[in-house]
Amino acid sequence: MKQPKLDGIFPPITTPFLPDGEFSPHKLRANIEKWNQTGLAGYVPTGSTGESVLLTKDEKYRVWETVREAAAPGKLLIAGTAAESVRETIELTNKAAGLGYAVAMVRTPHYYKAQMSRPECQMTYYRAVADAAKIPVLIYNFPQATGLDIPAEVVAQLAEHPNILGIKESSGSIEKVARMVDSTPDDFQVLVGSAPTLYASFCVGAVGAVLAFANAAPCASLAVYEAWKAGDHQAALRQQRSITAPAIAVTARHSIPALKYAMDLNGYYGGPPRLPLLPPSPAVKAEVEELFRDVKA
Amino acid sequence: MKQPKLDGIFPPITTPFLPDGEFSPHKLRANIEKWNQTGLAGYVPTGSTGESVLLTKDEKYRVWETVREAAAPGKLLIAGTAAESVRETIELTNKAAGLGYAVAMVRTPHYYKAQMSRPECQMTYYRAVADAAKIPVLIYNFPQATGLDIPAEVVAQLAEHPNILGIKESSGSIEKVARMVDSTPDDFQVLVGSAPTLYASFCVGAVGAVLAFANAAPCASLAVYEAWKAGDHQAALRQQRSITAPAIAVTARHSIPALKYAMDLNGYYGGPPRLPLLPPSPAVKAEVEELFRDVKA
Amino acid sequence: MKQPKLDGIFPPITTPFLPDGEFSPHKLRANIEKWNQTGLAGYVPTGSTGESVLLTKDEKYRVWETVREAAAPGKLLIAGTAAESVRETIELTNKAAGLGYAVAMVRTPHYYKAQMSRPECQMTYYRAVADAAKIPVLIYNFPQATGLDIPAEVVAQLAEHPNILGIKESSGSIEKVARMVDSTPDDFQVLVGSAPTLYASFCVGAVGAVLAFANAAPCASLAVYEAWKAGDHQAALRQQRSITAPAIAVTARHSIPALKYAMDLNGYYGGPPRLPLLPPSPAVKAEVEELFRDVKA
Amino acid sequence: MKQPKLDGIFPPITTPFLPDGEFSPHKLRANIEKWNQTGLAGYVPTGSTGESVLLTKDEKYRVWETVREAAAPGKLLIAGTAAESVRETIELTNKAAGLGYAVAMVRTPHYYKAQMSRPECQMTYYRAVADAAKIPVLIYNFPQATGLDIPAEVVAQLAEHPNILGIKESSGSIEKVARMVDSTPDDFQVLVGSAPTLYASFCVGAVGAVLAFANAAPCASLAVYEAWKAGDHQAALRQQRSITAPAIAVTARHSIPALKYAMDLNGYYGGPPRLPLLPPSPAVKAEVEELFRDVKA
């Protein structure tokens, strides 16, 4: 199994809401059509940045359909399909498969932390999901939200499964990225989800990235990747330096509301987040405007 | 508004699954009928112990209906209705209200930790939910799972809302329980959710408890409450000492799978947890058997 | 061995510095003479509150001599003697013994956290120190400073040592206090070091307390102890409520600089802390003044 | 001021103890003479790896004298001189200066965590020390031991001080290394203290490293540096991969006792650690032997 190549930059796309809080397929389609013009490798709807925990199941399905219809040929489609239970994750994953998605991105279960920290629970979850999934599984580790960090040793064991394709590692730990690259087979792909360490991640063996920042600034994100791909370390570091501060502002510091505002600034539809996420304050808006002044959209 | 009195002991009831993973209304009804014979003050379905994060929305509704039908008159019904989004929490809360629930227990939103740690997000969430809820709201704080601890100062502000009835505090911090009791109006009720500090919580002003341990050992749990209520501190401490070790085993240490096994031992239907929660190992079973040897069911 | 009874309230006394940063034996003697008039059970110099990590070894010796000379007969003397190394802790402990101290309070070693978290390192440290110590050892756990929490299970094992007298537990966890009381022999004494949970600690079996707050407010601290000792739970809780907020202000929130200012307000010599601890800001001073308005000195 | 260039690899040298626990200047001298034959840029005695928290002040002075006498010309000497208090840190720093040390490495104060986390305390400490120090100061951040992580923003402000030369960052966070490089003047030097991220640190702008691993394997450590310096990224990554696992084993995983054992294996004197650090178990020894089989000493 294990087929799709995940090289390149993927945006975990935001879910556009209208001012009344309703999901707008129309705005989503417009964003996709703009991104289609760039070198982005594909799209990842209903991840953390897609506010998936604020969506109903039906809304997720509508998001997936919309993305599939609007995506240009050749763009790889990865759906965020995680639920805490094995059975619901399988249901969502195979629904995405049926809609034409190539890969399922599956966040670590984490609510019952004391239990979910046990390697046997982590193994059981991913193996049970991967066994039943009709498309390959991409592990998704995001301890800043889940409060749980899947160990490199567990990932190394899961990497042996023929239907577990790789990991999106969003912790920002380069040491962990390097250890996973070094301890897994060559067909297991490590992607990162942290813009400030993008260049350094490529240096130690990551093949691609799922970057929230790329929603608002796909070209600036691609510039790092392309310079590194060309072996031009100095240019890659220079490009990295130009995105670090704006990327931190719209992710770790001010999160989705600020990212959506940066999208608005750069010609995409960002719009408001869903409550209890709050719209950015005027001070945050001013900070984003300042930091994105020279960022390539 | 703010009416129901929450004095006493409430079990956050487990959701019974058959070996194939399906929810069993029949087993749930049988459990309720046994608990009806005790002095338990009411029932709290679809909390953390009820594996609510592993249930679909439809399953939650079926659980609520079953509990309502089986509960004896006079048992207060509290539904766990939290979702991460304001809109979904309101929908669930009012569904529970329509089914006859008296109170909605609403866990803190927590996935977007950096944002949800901001008091303004916490305030917005609870006020928006409480404004729209047709029944009073009980805040639910469980940092061991959520990774987020709502501050006593924020609780003190939320306590002013006419439709926010109290808090279930499961952190185990007596200092926080005491500070919330001391800094909120008299009609704001503090319940605790940690058996090892049950007696100490009553000492500093808690009025009741939502105790997972009470699923398997309602009478032993009630013994602490009743001794304290009668002003017999020595008996209360003695009863507390008899439950601390078994309660820790089936909550903090081995969690729901062990609790369900203790229920099986004590004449209730525990049954298996849902994956990725794993059934208790033989060693855990032996530990539970030993610790529950002398515990009043 | 294991003799001194540690019932009652002990202040971990502050070290008075003059404005030029020099230790003042004169000011220390004056404080002791005032405390001698109260029901305090004894004195604990060179603990965390005594800024012991900011003192040289010679200064510690001078502090110990001064306290011993000024203390009234019957006041039990406990010296803070911990160093990271076994050999230096033994040297300090036996120096204190030679100066007439009855007990050595020995904080958990903690700098090499990954190693010092191992039970075998904790056991080795305390057993090696207790074997060589000429006076009994009181374990001292203060995770808020050390970043390391010695487990109740390790304490239960150390409690078997004939020269380990008890523990001062400053974590604030009532659950842990209760578990240690329940799992150790009767001659092992649990003291607490957290004013906000003082009354609750007594309820679950603590026999005494080492309270920073008692430096500035010995009588208010004693009032909680004496009410509880008399079996008057209502009065104990009422007294507890009157000290919680001021105690938090001068410990967890604003620490030693604020505590020293509260001492100045209450007729003791507080004076400045040593750098890099900074004197309290005007806002902190105003807060302390407000909170101590009605506190019994 | 700000003169010494810190490019290259520095070992934070271990302090050799004889089996009776006494410091051995003789063994230390022998180690230095061997390291003198390598391309190491200098030596850093009495850091964390030097067990400085287990040494008396007199022992530190003897270590410094021994290193100074044995070091070959051209080896830069950096002394670990931190104490919690400003006054004691200045005293130690100027003692080191008098003995011929070029730089003082000063760990963040951290015992009073709530206070020491405040930027104004961090600023006060480093400015007061740097103002009075006769040699330049190298900030030393090691949150794994101190439990406190000095923020990049505070470092950026301290970098303006003419006598604060740089930072040794041992957190392992590449994001933080990059942010400090990007936000400080060119004459502020960032060194890292984490072998697993050595190559990645150079990529983002670190100029050198203080590596515990280099005690046992100076040449393997230098190989990473030299390949990167020569612009050969592929060789640097290959060398990095060969040191990651053995370096983790003798630092994060098994710490100083295992590092000293690796030194013994590689022809240096490691010897036993001081209590409460415990000698490596047979299993740890076997692990170290296996991992160091092919490591260049």
Report yes or no: C218 and C38 within 8 Å, Cβ to Cβ: yes
Contact (CB<8Å) B244/C179: yes
Which residues 42-101 on chain D approach chain C with CB closer than 8 angstroms? 48, 53-56, 84-88
| pLDDT exceeds 90 at position D2 | no
Nearest CA to C127 among C74, C89, C92?
A: C89
Which residue type does D51 have? E
Distance CA D224, CA D289 (A): 22
**How high is the pLDDT of residue D1?**
77
Residue of B nearest to C200 (CA): B200
Q: Which CATH number fits domain B8-291: 3.40.50.300, 3.40.50.1860, 3.20.20.70, 3.40.50.2000?
A: 3.20.20.70
Residue of C nearest to D257 (CA): C115
Q: Of D60, D75, D95, D168, which one is the catalytic site residue?
A: D168
Which residue type does B225 have? Y
Residues D133-187 pLDDT 10s: 999 999 999 999 999 999 999 999 999 999 999 999 999 999 999 999 999 999 9
Distance CA A176, CA A182 (A): 10
Nearest CA to A53 among C54, B22, B116, B162?
A: B116
Mean pLDDT, to the nearest integer, of D198-202? Answer: 98
Nearest to C197 among B174, B182, B237 (CB): B174
Helix A57-70 and helix A25-35, axial crossing angle in degrees, nearest 10: 40
Contact (CB<8Å) A233/D203: yes
B167 three-class SS:
strand
Of the CA atoms within 13 Å of residue C108, those in its CB half-sphere come to 32
Q: Measured between CA atoms, how close is B253 to chain C, in angstroms? A: 14
**How high is the pLDDT of residue D163?**
98
Report yes or no: C195 and C213 within 8 Å, Cβ to Cβ: yes
Q: Please give the interface size between A and B, counted as residue pairs whose CB atoms are below 8 Å apart.
A: 110
Residues A258-297 pLDDT 10s: 999 999 999 999 999 999 999 999 999 999 999 999 898 8
Other CB atoms closer than 10 Å to residue C141's CB: what's the count?
23
Contacts of A55 in chain B (CB under 8 A): 85
Distance CA C157, CA C48 (A): 25
**How high is the pLDDT of residue A290?**
97
**How high is the pLDDT of residue C2?**
75
Torsion angle defined by CA atoms of residues A108, A114, A120 and A125, in that order, rounded to the nearest 10 degrees: -30
**How high is the pLDDT of residue C297?**
81
Residue of B nearest to C171 (CA): B173
Q: Please give the interface size between C and D, counted as residue pairs whose CB atoms are below 8 Å apart.
A: 110
Residue of C nearest to B238 (CA): C204
| Domain-wise residue ranges, chain A | 8-291
Best of B190, B194, B203, B232 to mutate (most C CBs within 10 Å, chain C)? B203
Best of D169, D175, D233 to mutate (most A CBs within 10 Å, chain A)? D175
Other CB atoms closer than 10 Å to residue B214's CB: what's the count?
29
| pLDDT exceeds 80 at position B2 | no
Q: Name the region of D267 (left: φ>0; alpha: ψ -120 to 50; beta: rest).
A: left
Instruction: Give yes or no for D198 touching A (CB within 8 A).
Output: no
0.90 surpassed by pTM: yes
| pLDDT exceeds 80 at position D212 | yes
Report yes or no: A177 and A208 within 8 Å, Cβ to Cβ: no
C213 three-class SS:
helix
> C: neighbours with 3+ CB pairs under 8 Å?
B, D
Chains D and A touch (3+ CB pairs under 8 A): yes
Distance CA A248, CA A262 (A): 12
C54 three-class SS:
helix
Best of A179, A190, A203, A228 to mutate (most D CBs within 10 Å, chain D)? A203
H-state helical runs in chain D: 25-35, 57-70, 86-98, 113-116, 119-132, 143-146, 152-158, 174-183, 198-203, 218-229, 233-248, 255-265, 282-291
The residue behind tokens 């397929």 is A25
Contacts of B205 in chain C (CB under 8 A): 237
The residue behind tokens 């942290």 is A194
**How high is the pLDDT of residue A242?**
96
Nearest CA to A2 among A158, A151, A236?
A: A158
| pLDDT exceeds 80 at position B1 | no
Report yes or no: B34 and B267 within 8 Å, Cβ to Cβ: yes
Contact (CB<8Å) A178/D200: yes
Specify which residues D265 forms β-bridges with: none
Contact (CB<8Å) D203/A237: yes
Phi and psi of D191, rounded to 5°?
-110, 155
Instruction: Give yes or no for D233 touching A (CB within 8 A).
Output: yes
Q: CB within 8 A of C133, min separation 6: which ones? A: C90, C93, C94, C97, C104, C163
Specify which residues A208 forms β-bridges with: A8, A191
Residues D19-59 pLDDT 10s: 999 999 999 999 999 999 999 999 999 999 999 999 999 99
Instruction: Give yes or no for A205 touching D (CB within 8 A).
Output: yes
| Cα-trace Rg, chain D | 18
Instruction: Give yes or no for A203 touching D (CB within 8 A).
Output: yes
> What is the DSSP pairing of strand B189-192 with strand D164-169?
unpaired
Report yes or no: C159 and C188 within 8 Å, Cβ to Cβ: yes
Mean pLDDT, to the nearest integer, of C151-177? Answer: 97
Contacts of A197 in chain D (CB under 8 A): 174-175, 178
Report yes or no: A102 and A135 within 8 Å, Cβ to Cβ: yes
Residues C36-65 pLDDT 10s: 999 999 999 999 999 999 999 999 999 999
Residues C249-263 pLDDT 10s: 999 999 999 999 999
- DSSP structure string for D66-128: HHHHHSPTT-EEEEE---SSHHHHHHHHHHHHHTT-SEEEEEPP-SSHHHHTSHHHHHHHHHH
Reported as a pLDDT band with limits 50, 70 and 90, residue C32 is: very high
Distance CA D87, CA D109 (A): 12
> A: neighbours with 3+ CB pairs under 8 Å?
B, D
Q: How far is CA A39 from the centre of its chain?
A: 16
B48 three-class SS:
coil
Residue A288 is encoded by which pair of tokens? 């984003």
Contact (CB<8Å) A111/B145: yes
Residues B76-92 pLDDT 10s: 999 999 999 999 999 99
Q: Please give the interface size between A and D, counted as residue pairs whose CB atoms are below 8 Å apart.
A: 59
**Omega before residue B276 within 30° of 0, cis:** yes
**How high is the pLDDT of residue A118?**
97
Q: How confident is the prediction for chain B on average, in pLDDT?
A: 97
Residue A274 is encoded by which pair of tokens? 């869903």
Instruction: Give yes or no for A125 touching B (CB within 8 A).
Output: yes
Distance CA D126, CA D129 (A): 5
Report yes or no: B181 and B208 within 8 Å, Cβ to Cβ: no
Report yes or no: D49 and D259 within 8 Å, Cβ to Cβ: yes
Q: Which residues of C are the active-site residues?
A: 168
Q: How far is CA A191 from the centre of its chain?
A: 9
Report yes or no: B49 and B12 within 8 Å, Cβ to Cβ: yes
Q: What is the DSSP letter of C195?
A: G
The residue behind tokens 């029901």 is C39
Task: Tell me the C-alpha to C-alpha distance, in Å, between residue C208 and each of C48, C139, C179.
Answer: 18, 14, 16
| pLDDT exceeds 80 at position B166 | yes
Report yes or no: C28 and C16 within 8 Å, Cβ to Cβ: yes
Distance CA D235, CA B148 (A): 44
**How high is the pLDDT of residue A1?**
77
**How high is the pLDDT of residue B270?**
98
Q: Is A156 exposed, middle or buried (0-12, 13-18, 19+ CB in 10 A)?
A: middle
Residue D111 is encoded by which pair of tokens? 């015992």
Contact (CB<8Å) D197/A179: no
Residue of C nearest to B233 (CA): C203
Q: Strand D42-43: give its sheet, edge to edge.
A: D8-10, D208-210, D189-192, D164-169, D137-141, D103-107, D76-80, D42-43
Based on the residue annotation, tell me whether D176 is a catalytic residue of this protein.
Answer: no
Contact (CB<8Å) A200/D174: yes
Residues A3-61 pLDDT 10s: 899 999 999 999 999 999 999 999 999 999 999 999 999 999 999 999 999 999 999 99
Residues D115-139 pLDDT 10s: 999 999 999 999 999 999 999 999 9
Nearest to B145 among A21, A55, A113 (CB): A113
Q: How confident is the prediction for chain C on average, in pLDDT?
A: 97
| pLDDT exceeds 80 at position B263 | yes
| Cα-trace Rg, chain A | 18
Mean pLDDT, to the nearest integer, of B175-190? Answer: 97
Q: CB within 8 A of A9, min separation 6: which ones? A: A39, A40, A41, A208, A209, A211, A214, A218, A221, A222, A225
Q: CB within 8 A of C11, min separation 6: which ones? A: C35, C40, C43, C44, C49, C210, C211, C212, C214, C215, C218
Nearest to D85 among C54, C113, C115 (CB): C54
Contact (CB<8Å) B237/C205: yes
Contacts of B237 in chain C (CB under 8 A): 203-205
